[in-house]
Chain A
Amino acid sequence: MKFGIVVFPGSNCEHDCYHVVKHVLRQEACFLWHKDRTLAGSDCVILPGGFAHGDYLRCGAMAKFSPIMETVARFAKEGGPVLGICNGFQILTESGLLPGALVRNRSLHYLCLDLTLRVETTNSPFTAQIPPGKVLKMPVGHGEGCYFADAKTLKRLEVEGRIAFRYCDSKGNLTEESNPNGSLLSIAGVLNERGNVMGFMPHPDRCAESILGNEDGRLIFESVIAATQGH
């Protein structure tokens, strides 16, 4: 299958995603320049991490005006899988493809460290291959990763099974300590109504190889590949 990785001028994890998809998982991969309007036949679109347009204003706020985002929105509407990682998640909420917002971490500092998280639903192309309730370890790297939404939205996300991942301790318990950015309901990843768009704060692209000491991130990519090839 073919992954299209969108490159905004300030993206900085596009090569990391490309490397995992192409060299680790041996799938096709291409870069999609943000000023273009084509997805070049991609089966899955990844919005990678970084600082799309410098993000001095609000993370992802300007990226929604990049021409490619219209095409991505159409692709999502048609049911195509779209994965936003870190800054990609911020762009998806700013673009209205996902509800809520990512605001400043509780500590007010950028945080780069490993966190543990629990898969909350296997009913999505990004999580289908993960054993239900499994606790994964993945790194995060963000200054604005605190997921925020109004009570009604949160309730809806919960009821509709659209919370994909929650930060937890190594045993799977939701604790304040294991949620250092302060996300509401410990949310690490959410899905759109149809389940084909996921915003995800941790970096699966940073933990998909044994030499990096952690391969948990592969599960997300492998789920998408299985879901797409199953079609």
Chain B
Amino acid sequence: MSENTEPAVDLNLALAHGLSSEEYEKVRAILGRTPSYTELGIFSLMWSEHCSYKSSRIHLKRFPTTGPQVLQGPGENAGAIDIGGGLAAIFKMESHNHPSYVEPYQGAATGVGGILRDIFTMGARPIASLNSLRFGSPDHPRMRYLLGGVVGGIAGYGNCVGVPTVGGEVAFHPSYNGNILVNVLNLGIAHAGRIFRGQARGPGNSVFYVGSRTGRDGIHGASLLASASFEADSQTKRPTVQVGDPFAEKLLLEACLELMKTDAIIGIQDMGAAGLTSSSVEMAGRGGTGIDLDLDRVPVREEGMTPYEMMLSESQERMLVIVRRGSEEKVRQIFRKWDLEGVPVGEVSAGGSLRVHFRGKRVADIPVKPIADGAPLLKRPMERPAWQDEVGRLDLTGLKDVVHPPKALKGLLGSLNLCSREWIYRQYDHMVRTNTVVRPGSDAAVIRIKGSPHALALTTDCNGRYCYLDPRSGARIAVAEASRNLACSGAVAQALTDCLNFGNPERPEVMWQFSECVDGIGEACRALEIPVISGNVSFYNETEGKGIFPTPTIGMVGIIEDARLAMRSFFCKEADVVVLLGETGEELGGSEYLSQAHRLEAGPLPVLDLEREEAVQLACIEAIGEGLVSSAHDCAEGGIAVALAESCFHPEGMLGAEVTLPAGRRLDAILFGETQSRILLSLPKFNLGKLEKICQDREAPFSLLGAVGGSRLKIHVGEEAVINTALTELKRPWAEALPAWMV
């Protein structure tokens, strides 16, 4: 479309851009006139749900975001914490759900690309990625294709850039049939004193465009793809998905890090969602300045692009850099070395406006402050769903207890939700950069920091079913479990990032779920003293009116004082004793077992006592820190029986165990119930006394269950032997389920 044929702007066109009529009126009031076509495009992006967080902002304020370790909280490209030795860990998680459903390989790949840029734009070298994935029913005809594409895209992009993908999680449920979730987390390391921010300061400084050329891809990605629900025609949205070029990203990464060693940079920001528009508006907004852009200088991939298209394009692998006056040649030189575009496209101005010029004409002139900070703040109506009480009830009296425990255990181990993820993570380069001390497959991944005695532990966690049954408790549990995963590796949790995946916020039930989850996260964060330092909200995960389970994914990072003491979850020494920290209650509600064995997704969730949780975690961390422990594993989905089996599956040689659990409850609840705040430890017998002392001091419940050894898993409940099965027999379904399903 050429400039001359640009459509006339009116209310209908604004509505088609996803703005409401009130928002359109507000635009007219800000400008004092009808916006130009380009201006309308700019407003529609900046005020989209995706960029403005207009439905979520009033809720997100309830998160605790501060702490002595926090160097950068929410509001920048990513959050940052102090990890000692003058270093900062910078991390964030983001969703790429809609694009990945429409085009799984490119959707997931560009999700990785986007989060990497969020990290290195802050001056950090990305050193680890994780991902949290949700797919629909295994029977759904498209799921294999989607999973294969998503995993391929994450691998293809991350492997090429050379950032290891060290962990994550995958779950399947029919609620994701029309909306899969692809949440990607990246963490980078920077010098604490050299964190770069997205700010345009100093009128007269140059605005540089660096990276790949701008094409017509991804136009309306943020506004129409990410900020609206799917209908049956989701495939027609394919052209709004961008195409990734990991090699260009690698060049951009190296060139930016090289440039950051100089003093040329005033501010820098990724041109991610909403491209040139959001990067210029947000940087000027934070800097309290304006920006003049000359679109004739923007490197383009194709002829005849209009200002509207250039401002809205979401072409990947691009950055906007505010360059100190006089340093322009330095920038050009470095980008030339890396064979990338690096050209001035404008200037920081004092006027406080974004002024866009094209072919001698001013095509946009927008005051920055009202568009950056004046995005509508919605207080959407909320309502507790009428069915919420119903699903929270569970009457076990009519429910038959487990008859054949070994069969039930094998069923759980061989289910797609609990089976081995090796088929996935061996497609990810999880070792490049040679920092991976604990590889995928344990409770948390552990990354050593070269030149420092410390290591970082990373995990992602969320149980969507829990959050559907009880959003507030489910979200509390997600935080507690993420923190527990870190504790099992010996790490003290430092901060978290989140990806809040929900349905359509225009539905009061969805807003209620969202608000409850925010409160649940906040409660757990306050109790465990873990601030939220960055995150992302993804609404409209809904197809034809059917929303996903509320899925507030938690990504968490912790520090292990002595990297050499990083713990894995596998039994590794014959004759070690097996100990349980915590206690098992009769809590089957919301469990994977109920869902699989009885097709029942109901019930009150396991009770989470945050004081107990903290006691158990601190005992575990202390025991690992003193070198008393051989393995530590969280009891989560599938209960203690699954946790025991997983502990036996040491990748370098399986080792069995014989344990006795106290009787007196339903057998299914003892074996498969998901009581919170439980950690399985194995340790040499001579350390038992010391562990007991730690547990007493911390007031963490402690019980001796049995010992490691042999090639079978034997579980007694009271006097009765309920499981006595060869490990090979348990491992086969666990190891084969995913590759067998994918074939």
Contact = CB atoms under 8 A, between A and B. Distances in A.
A10 interface: yes
Interface stretch (B190-198, B407-415, B424-432): B424-432
Contacts, number: 82
B423 to A, nearest CB: 9
A121 to B, nearest CB: 27
Given A50-B162, A211-B564, A212-B437, A9 B250 contact: yes
A110 interface: yes
A141 B433 contact: no
A51 B247 contact: yes
Contacts of B436: 212
Interface of B: 155-156, 159-162, 245-248, 250-251, 254, 338-339, 425-434, 436-437, 448, 450, 563-564
Contact of B427 (A9, A49, A112, A209): A112
A211 B563 contact: yes
12 contacts: A9-B339, A12-B433, A13-B162, A23-B450, A50-B162, A51-B160, A51-B162, A54-B160, A54-B246, A110-B156, A112-B426, A206-B434
Nearest to B161: A12
Interface string A109-152: 11111000000000000000000000000010101000000000
A113 B450 CA distance: 22
Which of A12, A56, A143 has most B Cβ within 10 Å? A12
Contacts of A155: none
A53 interface: yes
Nearest to B165: A112
B448 A141 contact: no
A135 B339 CA distance: 43
A139 B425 CA distance: 14
Interface string A6-25: 00011011011001100100
A141 B432 contact: yes
Contact of B432 (A12, A109, A212): A12
Given A54-B247, A54-B248, A112-B431, 20 more contacts: A9-B247, A9-B250, A10-B160, A12-B161, A12-B162, A13-B162, A16-B434, A23-B450, A49-B432, A54-B160, A56-B247, A112-B427, A112-B428, A112-B429, A141-B431, A141-B432, A143-B159, A209-B434, A212-B434, A213-B437
A166 interface: no
A110 B427 contact: yes
B564 A9 contact: no
Contacts of B156: 110
A203 interface: yes
Contact of A19 (B246, B247, B434): B434
A111 B431 contact: no
B254 A9 contact: yes
B564 A111 contact: no
Which of B155, B426, B431 has most A Cβ within 10 Å? B431
A206 B431 contact: yes
Contacts of B430: 112
Interface of A: 9-10, 12-13, 15-16, 19-20, 23, 49-51, 53-56, 109-113, 139, 141, 143, 203, 205-206, 209, 211-213
Given A9-B251, A54-B247, A111 B427 contact: yes
A54 B434 CA distance: 21
A13 B426 contact: no
Contacts of A205: 434
A15 B433 contact: yes
Contacts of B448: 211
Contact of A53 (B161, B247, B425, B450): B247
B509 to A, nearest CB: 41
Nearest to A23: B450
A213 to B, nearest CB: 8
Which of B159, B432, B450 has most A Cβ within 10 Å? B432
Which 8 A-B residue pairs are closest in the complex by CB-CB distance? A12-B162, A54-B247, A141-B429, A16-B434, A51-B160, A110-B427, A112-B429, A113-B426
Which of B159, B248, B251 has most A Cβ within 10 Å? B159
A110 to B, nearest CB: 5
A92 to B, nearest CB: 20
Contacts of B431: 112, 139, 141, 203, 206
A23 B451 CA distance: 10
A86 to B, nearest CB: 10
B569 to A, nearest CB: 15
Nearest to B455: A211
Given A13-B162, A205-B434, A111 B426 contact: yes
Contacts of B250: 9-10, 12, 51, 54
A110 B431 CA distance: 13
Nearest to B450: A19
A229 B66 CA distance: 55
A23 B430 CA distance: 22
B432 A16 contact: yes
B137 to A, nearest CB: 24
Contacts of B159: 51, 110, 141, 143
Given A109-B427, A112-B429, A9 B434 contact: no
A166 to B, nearest CB: 21
A49 to B, nearest CB: 8
Contacts of A56: 247
A206 B433 CA distance: 8
Nearest to A139: B431
A137 B431 CA distance: 14
B188 to A, nearest CB: 14
Given A53-B247, A56-B247, A211-B437, A13 B432 contact: yes
Contacts of B428: 110, 112
A109 B427 CA distance: 6
Contacts of A55: 160, 247
Nearest to A15: B433
Nearest to A109: B427
Nearest to B245: A54
A113 B423 CA distance: 11
A15 B450 CA distance: 11
A55 B250 CA distance: 12
A214 to B, nearest CB: 10
B741 to A, nearest CB: 15
Contacts of A113: 426
B56 to A, nearest CB: 36
Contacts of B563: 211
Nearest to B253: A12
A211 B448 CA distance: 9
A12 B429 CA distance: 11
A205 B429 CA distance: 14
Contacts of B162: 12-13, 50-51
A203 B433 CA distance: 11
A19 B245 CA distance: 28
A215 to B, nearest CB: 12
Contacts of B433: 12, 15-16
Contacts of B338: 9
A187 B430 CA distance: 23
A213 B436 CA distance: 10
Contacts of A54: 160, 245-248, 250
Contacts of B246: 51, 54
Contacts of A53: 247
Contacts of B254: 9
Contacts of B248: 54
B572 to A, nearest CB: 11
A12 B251 CA distance: 11
Contacts of A50: 162
Contacts of A111: 426-427
Contacts of A203: 431
Nearest to A113: B426
A50 B564 CA distance: 28
